[in-house]
Amino acid sequence: MALATIADVEARLGRSLTVAETSKANAYLADASALFIQRAVQKFEVGKSTVRLFPKDGIIRLVQRPVIEVIEVKDLDGNAIDYTFDGHQSLYDLGDFRGVTVNYEHGSATIPQDVVGVVAGMVARTLSISPDAAAGVQQQSVGPFSQSYANWAVGAQVMLSPADAKVADYYRGLSFRSTSTLGNGNYGINYPNPTKFRRD
């Protein structure tokens, strides 16, 4: 599901979309949402994840926020284990377990407004690209006049601008650039390797 709506895009364009634009916008919204989620390492919407984490001093910190419910915690052999949940993001009292698998529910029914703004803005920007640039034209000349298009505009690809990336990095940083990322091994200084945890 997209992190913004057609109405959000129209609000940023200041007009209603045509039928053809609406069809494109729906695809662009899905693309923009996927790019933002990948950069932010946050799903935002309500959902469930199953992750494998490695406790440090018996503590792990769950990445997806906010945590709604910790459904199940197991050791690597699939046995349920006891733990203490702080009601926010951390699980304690995991003892000497070298790895645990956690299934939990997370997210929010309301997408943050800055996220909505970025995703809708990415789509509005893409829809506003000149048809020539969208068709792949980089430069064209007529007599003594010439016109060039920005590299990002050519081909009409949905892209994160530097400002968009900063918003995504803010959410990413809340998860990984924190002294409370105990239990996520080197995730506190390096972004996670997708082979080290998985999502449903």
Q: What is the pLDDT of residues 49-108, one digit of tens each?
A: 998 888 888 888 898 989 999 999 999 899 999 999 998 888 999 988 778 999 999 999
Interior/surface letters 34-59, b for 16+ CB within 10 angstroms, e for the rest: ebbbebbbbbbbeebbebebbbeebb
Counting Cβ atoms within 10 Å, is residue 177 exposed (0-12), middle (13-18) or buried (19+)? middle
The mean pLDDT of 149-174, rounded to a whole number, is: 75
The rounded mean pLDDT for the chain is 79
What is the pTM for the complete model shown? Answer: 0.75
Q: Which residue has the higher pLDDT, 71 or 181?
A: 71
Residue 33, amino acid: S
Output the CA–CA distances (angstroms, integers) from residue 169 to 52, 66, 141, in the order listed.
Answer: 23, 17, 40
Rounded distance, CA 113 to CA 73, Å? Answer: 33
157, 136 Cβ separation under 8 angstroms: no
